[in-house]
Structure 1
Amino acid sequence: MAWCRSFALAAVLLGFLSCYAPVPSLASSGSDGFLQCLSAAMPKQLLYTQSSPSFTSVLTSSVWNHKFLAASTVRPFAIVRPTNASHVQAAVVCGSQNDVRIRVRSGGHDYEGLSYRSERPEVFAVLDLADLRSVSVDPKAATAWVESGATLGELYYAVSKASKLLAFPAGLCPTVGVGGHFSGGGFGMLVRKYGTAIDNVLDATLVDAKGRLLDKQAMGADVFWAIRGGGGGSFGVVLSWKVKLVPVPPTVTMFILPKSVDEGAIDILTKWQEVAPAFPEDLFINVVIAKQVAKFQSMYLGTCDALLPLMETRFPELGLNKTHCKEMTWIQSVPYIYLGTTATVEDILDRSTSASSSSKSTSDYVRQAITKDVWAQIFAWLAKPDGGVMIADPYGGKVSSFSESATPFPHRGGVLYNIQYMNFWPAATDGSAQTKWLKDLYAFMEPHVSQNPREAYVNYRDLDLGQNVVVGNLTSYKAAQVWGEKYYKDNFQRLAMAKGEVDPEDYFRNEQSIPPFVASKRR
C-alpha cells in the first residue's frame, strides 16, 4: 500500500483517527515557513519548488489542457507528492500554520485546472496524490478500497483481476482520477443499472482542515454526505474510498453505430431522447454528435441475441442488426469505447497525458424532449467551421430512483439526459472562435433545457457559470449561490452548512469551492 496501511486492516486505520503526525511549529511564516515545516515532517525529495529541476514535469504530469500551460498561468510555488497519510496531514497543518493554502489534485482530468492553478494572483501549494493510488479488492464481500490518486482504469483493472463478474459504475474515460471523479458524482455506462459512483460509496478517509484523519463515523453524517458529490477542494483531502462493487454478466454487448443527417440522424435522435431513458436498466445508449453525424454508443448487459429483439421493438429507427454487435467481457468494454476497437485491457493503465490541444466545456440537463426542428438547428450549429461536439448521456433507471437530496448530486428523477458541450483548438491558436461558438450554442440552448435553475454537472466544471468572491477572509455564500445552485440545486445550502462544520475558517477553497454557511450566512 502506498501510504503504509492495508485497506483490509480497518482496525489499524481506526487507531489513527482524529490524530496526526507531529509537525514542528515554526516562527517563520509564508512559503518559506511552509517548506521548512514540511521538510521537518517528510522526505525532502517529495517537495518540489519552482527552482527544482523536476518541478515542471511534475506539474504538467496530469495537465490535459494546453491552455493551462501558458506562461501567464498562476502556478503553485511548490508541489507536495505525499506517499502516506501522515504526509498529507503534515501538508495541511504546515499550510494552516503558515497561511499557505493547498490545492489538491488526484492526477486525472480537471476541466478548469483548479487543482493546480489559480485564476488570481495567489501563493499556494499543490498536494498531488498521484503516489497514493492503491486499490484493494475483496471479491467475497464485493467491495474495494481505492485511494484518490488512482485512475478509473486502475480501479477497473484491479476489480477485473479479482473477479470477472464484478464491476464498478463510474466514468468511461480510464485516465480520470478517482478522487475528483467521485467528489462530483461520477457516471458512465452502468449509471442506469447501478446509479452514480457516489451512490456506491460505503466509507471514506478524510484529512480535515485541522489535519485530523477521519473515517465515515468520525467525520459525521453531514460531512460524509457532502464529500459524495459536493465537488472537490472544499471539505478536506479525501485519501481513500470504500466502494460497493456490482455484478455484471460474463458477456456484455457493445455497439458503435454512426448515423449521418442524410441517414436520418435528426429523426433518430428525436426518438432516442424519449426511449433511451425508458429502456430496461440493462441497456445504455449515449450519443456523440459532431458535424453532421450522431454516433450511438451502447452497452447491453447481456448477449446480442437478447438485445436485438428489444431494439427491434423499442427503437427500430436505429436499424441495429447482428453485424453491429460486439460481444465481450465488461473489462474489455472499457478500452473498446474510449480508446478504440484495437485497444487492449492493459491500455487502460496508461496514465500518460496529452496536452497537444486546448479545450473548453460546459453542460446542461434536459427534462423535456427537444423537438425535431430544434435538433435540425443544433446540427446547423455543429456544422459551423469552428463547431465542437455534443455528448448526450441518458438517465432514468437506477440513477433516477434516488431522491434529489440523497447525495449532493441532485440530477435525478425527471432528467431525460445530460449534455456535455466541448470544443477544441490547436495549441498554437487562442481559441477565441471556438470559445465563442460554445458560448453562443449554450445561449441558444437555454429555452430547451432545465430551468430555474439551469442545471449543470460539477465534474464538467465551468467558471463562466460564476466564481467565488472573498469577503474579509471567507467566501461569500450569496455570490457562490450563482453557480452553486446550478450544480447542486437545493442541496447547496446543506453543503455550505457541512462546510461550516468541517472547515469554518474556509482553509480549503478555490474559485468554485463551497463557502462555509455558518460564518457567511449574513453575507
Structure 2
Amino acid sequence: MRNISLEIVLFYFSLFSFLLPLSCPTSDSVTHAFLECLENHSQFSSYPISGIICTPNNSSYPTVLQHYIRNLRYNMSTTQKPLLILTPMHESHIQSAITCAKTHSLQMKIRSGGHDYEGISYWSEVPFFILDMFNLRSIKVNIEDETAWVQAGATVGEMLYKIAEKSNTHGFPVGVCPTMGVGGHLSGGGYGYLMRKYGLSVDNIVDAQLIDVNGRVLNRETMGKDFFWAITGGGASSFGVVLAYKIKLVRVPAKVTVFDVHRTLEQNATEIVYRYQHVAHKLPKEIFIRLTMMVMNITEGNKKTINASFMSLFLGDSETLVSLMNKRFPELGLKKKDCKEMSFVQSYIKWTNYALGTNCDIGAPKVLLNRAYNSTHLTRWHSSKSRYRPSGRSRTPQFQKKKNSTHLKRKSDYLKEPIPKDGLEYICKRMIELEKPMLTFNPYGGKMAKITPSAKPFPHRAGIICKIQYATNWKENDVKESEHYVNLTIMLHTYMTPFVSKPPREAYFNYRDLDLGINHNGHGSYFEGAAYGDKYFKHNFKRLVHIKTKIDPDNFFRHEQSIPTLPS
C-alpha cells in the first residue's frame, strides 16, 4: 500500500467537502472529522498513523479492500464500501481508532482474514470503516513449553508453518483453509481434523491480548474469567479487538496417514453413508473421517449421480489404520494402496488440495505462507482418471490462482440421530435435482464428547454424531444468479429439516448465516440477537449477553450478528 501523508488526505477531503452543500452532514464530512481526530491522537506518538490510512482517494484502496474479500457476493457495485481502511502496525493505532470512532459514532468492522461467510467484516448498511489486522501477524513459537503467541492478523497457514519450522511432532487443531485469519477463526470456535483428538481451537487457547472499548490492553488475568471465556468461542469482535492469542500446541506423530476414498450411488454409497453415521463418531479419537456428498456427472451420457468422498487423517501408520477400518468400518473397503503416510504438516497440505510438490517434501512447506486466497479447498475433486466428474465442471482438477474468485453460500446443522436409509435416498434425489449444493459431515465423538457445553461459549458437544455444512459455489457475477444459488442452498437445508437437531435447530457461529437473523443494533437489539444467538450458543447466549452488557454497555463493538446488550 502506498503511504500518503495525512495532510494531503485532509486537504482533498476538505476541498471536496467545500464543494458540497452545507445543509447536512455527508460521509465525506464524517470521514474528514474522523481523520482529524486520528491525527490529533497521534501527534505526539512514536507511531504516526498517516501511513496506515487508506481512503478512496488512495490508489491502493481497491487492492487493500478486495485482497481479503473472500465472498464475491459482497463485492458487487451495489455493496456499500468502507469510508476508509486502517491497517494498524501498533496497538496505539487501534486505541486511536476506537476513541475516534466512538467520538464520531462511526461503525468499526474488524477484519483478520475475511473468511466470514457472510462478509460482515467488510460491508455494512451504515457508514463504517475497516480495521484490517493483516499487518499484525507476528508468531512466536516456544517448543520447550509447547505454546505459541500468534497475532490476530496471521493466517492459519503461517501459524502451522512456524510450528513445523520448530518441530515435526507438534501441531494445532485448526480448519483446513490456510488463508483464514487467526483472529476470527480462533475466537469463534475453530473446527479442524484434530478435533476428535484435541477438541477445537478454542479448547486449546491459554491466554489472549485484547484492547477493550476503553482502549485498555488486557490479558487473561486483567480481563477476568468471564471476559476471557466470551472471546474463546463467542466471537471476539463483539467484545474488543484481539491482538494475539496464546495457544497450547498439541503433539502429533512424526508420520500420519491420510486417505481419500470415493464411492458413488452405483458403488453402494447409500449403504456406506448409512454405516458412516453409526461408526465415524465411535472410532478411536485418533481417526477423523470427513464425508462430502456432491452431485457428479457420469461421463457416459448425461446421467447424474452422488459421489461420496471419505477423507481421513489418522494419527498413526497405514497398516494399523487399514486393520482398524476393516474391523470397524468394512463397508468402506479401505485398502493399503488407498493410504499415504506423510508428516502432519504435509497432511494439512493434502487436505487443502494444494499439490504436494518438492517444496513440501521436507520441513515446513512454504506454500502455507501464501496469503492469496485460493478456492480449490472449497470443492473436493476426483482425480482425472475417474469415470465421474463434478456436475457441470471439467474432469481435470483445477488450481485457480485468481484471488477472490468465488461467490458462495454456507449453512450448517448438527446431526444427533442417524438419517435412515430411505431418508438418505430422499436427500440424494433432492441433491441431484438441485445439482449445485454439497453436504459435508464432520464427525464428533472423542474429545468433543468429553468437554462440557458450558466450558466455552461453543455449546455443541456430547450427543452429536456430526456437524453438517451446506456449501454452494458459483462464478456468475449477477444478483439474480446469486439469489438463485442461495435459494438452492436454502432448499437443501429445508429438505434436511426432519433429520437434524431441533429445537432449536442448532448452527455453528463460524459458519455465519444471516438467514438466521440480522441485528440492526437498535432498540430491539436483544430480541433480534436472540434469533440467531440461541442457535449458535444455546444456553450460553444469555451469559454472553450479560458479559457484553458489563464490558461494552453502549454496544460499540457491533455488527449484523454480534452479541447484543440487555435492554435498558
TM-score between the two structures when normalised by the length of structure 2: 0.84
- Residue identity over aligned pairs, in percent, reads 41
Residue correspondence of structure 1 range 199-348 to structure 2 within 5 A: 199-291=203-295, 292-342=306-356, 344=360, 345-348=365-368
Q: Trace 1:102-113 onto structure 2 (pairs within 5 A).
A: 102-113=108-119
Instruction: Write the distance in 2 (CA, Å) between the matches of 1:94 and 1:427.
Output: 39
Q: 1:349 to 1:381 in 2, by over 3 A?
A: farther
**Which residue identity does 1:155 align to in structure 2?**
M
Query: Is the counterpart of residue 361 in structure 1 residue 428 in structure 2?
Result: no
Q: CA deviation at 1:94?
A: 1.5
Q: Which residue of 1 aligns with 2:172?
A: 168
Aligned pairs for 1:14-93 (under 5 A) are 30-40=30-40, 41=42, 42-93=48-99
SS at match of 2:108: strand
Cα distance between partner residues in 2 of 1:326 and 1:341:
14
CA contact (8 A) 1:31 1:100 kept: no
Q: How many residues align?
A: 488
Q: Distance in 2 between matches of 1:398 and 1:408?
A: 16
Moved more, 128-137 or 420-429: 420-429
The 3-state SS of whatever aligns with 1:460 is coil
By how many angstroms is 1:385 displaced?
Answer: 5.2
**Partner Cα distance (2:484, 2:102) in 1:** 42
Retained in 1: the 8 A contact 2:163–2:171? yes
Task: Name the SS of the counterpart of 1:470 in structure 2.
Answer: coil
Residue of structure 1 in register with 2:150 after alignment: 146
Alpha-carbon distance in structure 2 between the residues aligned to 1:348 and 1:502: 37
**1:461 and 2:512 correspond:** yes
CA distance in 2, matches of 1:400, 1:54: 48
Is the Cα contact below 8 Å between 1:166 and 1:248 reproduced in 2? Answer: yes
Q: Residue 298 of structure 1: CA displacement?
A: 0.2
What secondary structure sits across from 1:418 in the alignment? Answer: strand
Task: Report the Cα distance in structure 2 between the residues aligned to 1:207 and 1:260, rounded to whole angstroms.
Answer: 51
**Deviations 1:324-367 (CA, angstroms, capped at 9, x unpaired):** 01000001011111124435322121111322231111100011
- Residue 232 of structure 1: CA displacement? 4.0
Deviation at 1:440, TM superposition (A): 1.1
Q: CA deviation at 1:424?
A: 1.5
Q: What is the aligned counterpart of 1:431 among 468, 482, 496? A: 482
Task: State whether residues 273 and 416 of structure 1, in contact with CA within 8 Å, keep that contact through their aligned partners in structure 2.
Answer: yes
The superposition leaves residues 356-384 of structure 1 with CA deviations (integer Å, 9 ceiling, x where unpaired) of 23111110001111111111122122223
Aligned counterpart for 1:384 among listed residues 433, 442, 451: 433
Tell me the SS of whatever aligns to 1:424. Answer: strand
Residue 510 (structure 1) aligns with:
559
Task: Describe the SS at the equivalent of 2:539.
Answer: helix
Per the alignment, do residues 68 and 471 of structure 1 end up closer, same or farther by CA in structure 2, a change over 3 Å counting?
A: closer
Partner in structure 2 of residue 415 of structure 1: 464
Structure 1 residues 275 and 341: CA distance shift in structure 2, 3 A: farther
For 2:29 and 2:60, the matched residues in 1 are separated by: 25
TM-score between the two structures when normalised by the length of structure 1: 0.91
CA contact (8 A) 1:363 1:418 kept: yes
Q: Shift of residue 108 of structure 1?
A: 4.0
Q: Contact 2:152/2:242 (CA < 8 Å) preserved in 1? A: yes
Q: Take 1:381 and 1:200, find their aligned partners in 2: how far apart are those partners?
A: 39
Q: Secondary structure at the match of 2:51?
A: helix
Shift of 1:441: 1.1
SS at match of 1:464: helix
Residue among 492, 497, 503 paired with 1:441: 492
Query: Any residues of structure 2 matched to 1:166-205 within 5 Å, and which?
Result: 166-205=170-209
AA aligned to 2:277 is Q
Query: In structure 2, what is the Cα distance between the partners aligned to 1:145 and 1:29?
Result: 40
1:13 corresponds in structure 2 to none
Match of 2:380 in 1: none
**In the aligned structure 1, how far is the partner of 2:252 from the partner of 2:369?**
21
After the TM superposition, list the runs of 4 or more consecutive aligned residues in structure 1 that deviate by more than 6 angstroms.
none
1:65-107 Cα deviation digits (max 9, x unpaired):
1121111111110100001111111111111122112110102
1:117 to 118, 123, 141: 123
In structure 2, the residue matched to 1:20 is none
Kindly tell me: are residues 81 and 509 of structure 1, through their superposed partners in 2, closer, same or farther at Cα, counting changes over 3 Å?
same
CA RMSD after TM alignment? 1.4
Match of residue 99 from structure 1: 105
Matched residues in 1 for 2:558 and 2:197: separation?
34
Report the secondary structure of 2:229's partner residue: helix
Query: After the TM superposition, which of the residue ranges 31-40 and 65-74 deviates more from structure 2?
Result: 31-40
Equivalent pair of 1:166/1:247 in contact (CA under 8 Å) = yes
For 1:309, the aligned partner's letter is S
Q: Is the 8 A contact 1:29 1:98 kept in 2?
A: no
* Partner residue, 2:139: 135
Q: Please report how far the alpha carbon of residue 29 of structure 1 lies from its aligned counterpart in structure 2 after TM superposition.
A: 8.2
| Alpha-carbon distance between aligned partners in 2 of 1:339 and 1:386, rounded to the nearest angstrom | 22
Distance 1:403 1:191 in 2: 15
Distance 2:494 2:507 in 1: 14
Q: Which amino acid aligns with 1:93?
A: T
Residue 433 of structure 1: how far off its partner (Å): 2.4
Contact 2:71–2:408 (Cα < 8 Å) also in 1: yes
Task: Name the CA distance, whole Å, in 2 between partners of 1:471 and 1:62.
Answer: 29
Note the residue ranges of structure 2 that are not aligned, 5 or more in a row: 1-27, 43-47, 296-305, 374-402
After TM superposition, give the deviation of residue 386 of structure 1 in Å. 4.1
Whole-angstrom distance in 1 between the partners of 2:277 and 2:33: 56
- The SS at the match of 2:123 is coil
Q: State yes or no: 1:157 paired with 2:190.
A: no
1: CA distance between counterparts of 2:255 and 2:173?
16
Q: State the 1:30 CA deviation.
A: 3.3
Pair 1:498-2:547 in alignment: yes
Please, which runs of 5 or more residues in structure 1 have no aligned partner? 1-27
In 2, Cα distance between the equivalents of 1:433 and 1:342? 36
Q: Give 3-state SS (helix, strand or coil) of 2:288's partner.
A: strand
Partner of 1:350: 370
How far apart, in 1, do the equivalents of 2:172 and 2:121 lie? Answer: 25
Determine the C-alpha separation between the residues in 2 that align with 1:30 and 1:153. 38
Distance in 2 between residues matched to 1:340 and 1:101, nearest whole Å: 37
Give, in whole Å, the separation in 2 of the partners of 1:385 and 1:336.
29
* Farther-moved stretch of structure 1 (344-353 vs 250-259): 344-353
